[in-house]
Amino acid sequence: MRQRIDISEIEAQTKIRAKYLRALENEEWDLLPGSTFVKSFLRTYAEALGLDARLLLEEYKLRHERLSEADLMPIAPPGGRRDKPRRGPSPGVGRDIGVALLVVALVGLLIVLGNNSDDEGGRDQVSATTTTTRTSPPARTTPEQERKRPEKPAVSKFARLEILPTGDVWICLEAAGNRRLIGGEVVDETTDLPRFRSSRFRMTFGNGELKMRINGKTLDVPEVQNAVGYEIDRSGKRTTLAEADRPTCS
């Protein structure tokens, strides 16, 4: 208002919808999809007005962001962990081992005596088996069997990605080599996004208002209030990224 700038001008300059700009002005955070939206909008809005974006973000984090679960975990008191006393072998263990060894020795003696009594018959049987094995011809593979051998699937060099918004969603999308494809923008179901191709993708979504189509296979994104990030390799495998590894497009 001091700079006499109309809300529609800021909307066109920042690509942020007017309803979100009014929500920022009135601190109505519930009208925004999540904290990722808020921080991205605050930074863009402050830069457009010539304000200190870092100061606004710090104030928002201090006043409105919740502590992480790691900060809320209790600290264990020192010396709380006690090692369990080790137990020694019971008195009867040595006696049991001795009995087991005696039984094994008796069984071995009986096997040796049985082998000596059947030595002649066993030799004849082994000789006949050896002769049969030597005279049998080696198996050959026919050309038809060679053609029927399964071929290893070729590994694709690129993955194909389509993003299908079902509502308002903030997107940061990067390809291999840190090439920025979508630079932290809000899109909706009417936005016509192209089909992307790369050996690797890394992305962050502000919420779950979209679907992904990877190499022709459609995958859902869970309904989340805060951001979620993924990485896709050249084979089309999707892996969830930790918060520290997600791209921010900042």
Residue 59 belongs to a domain? yes
Q: Which of 64, 88, 112 delimits the end of a domain?
A: 64
Q: What is the pLDDT of residue 118?
A: 52
Q: Answer yes or no: is 173 within a domain.
A: yes
Please state the domain count of the chain: 2
Q: Encode pLDDT of 147-180 as tens digits.
A: 666 666 666 789 999 999 999 999 999 999 989 9
| pLDDT above 50 (res 57) | yes
**pLDDT tier for residue 127 given thresholds of 50, 70 and 90:** very low
* Among 47, 64, 81, residue at a domain's last position: 64
CB contact at 8 A, 173 and 215: no
Residue 189 within any structural domain of the chain: yes
Give dist(CA 20, CA 169) in Å, integer. Answer: 12
Asked whether residue 178 is domain-assigned, the answer is yes
Average pLDDT over residues 58-66: 80
Token pair for 34 = 């999540």
Closest CA to 199 of 177, 171, 166: 177
Q: What is the DSSP letter of 158?
A: -
* Winning range, highest mean pLDDT, from 10-14, 78-82, 244-248: 244-248
> At residue 223, does pLDDT exceed 60?
yes
Task: Establish if 128 belongs to a structural domain.
Answer: no
Range of the domain at 164: 159-245
How many CA atoms are closer than 13 Å to the CA of 61, on its beta-carbon side?
12
Q: 26-35, 37-46, 92-101, 188-197 — which one is most confidently predicted on average?
A: 188-197
Domain membership flag for residue 97 = no
Whether this model's pTM surpasses 0.75:
no
- Is 11 domain-assigned? yes
State residue 104's pLDDT score.
77
What residues have CB less than 8 Å from 29, skipping those under 6 apart?
23, 38, 64
Provide the pLDDT for residue 101.
Answer: 78
Q: How many CB atoms are closer than 10 A to CB 36?
A: 24
pLDDT above 50: residue 128: no
Structural domain includes residue 141: no
Given a cut of 60, whether residue 72 has pLDDT beyond it is no
Instruction: State mean pLDDT over 72-95.
Output: 53
Rounded CA-CA distance 116/107 in Å is: 15
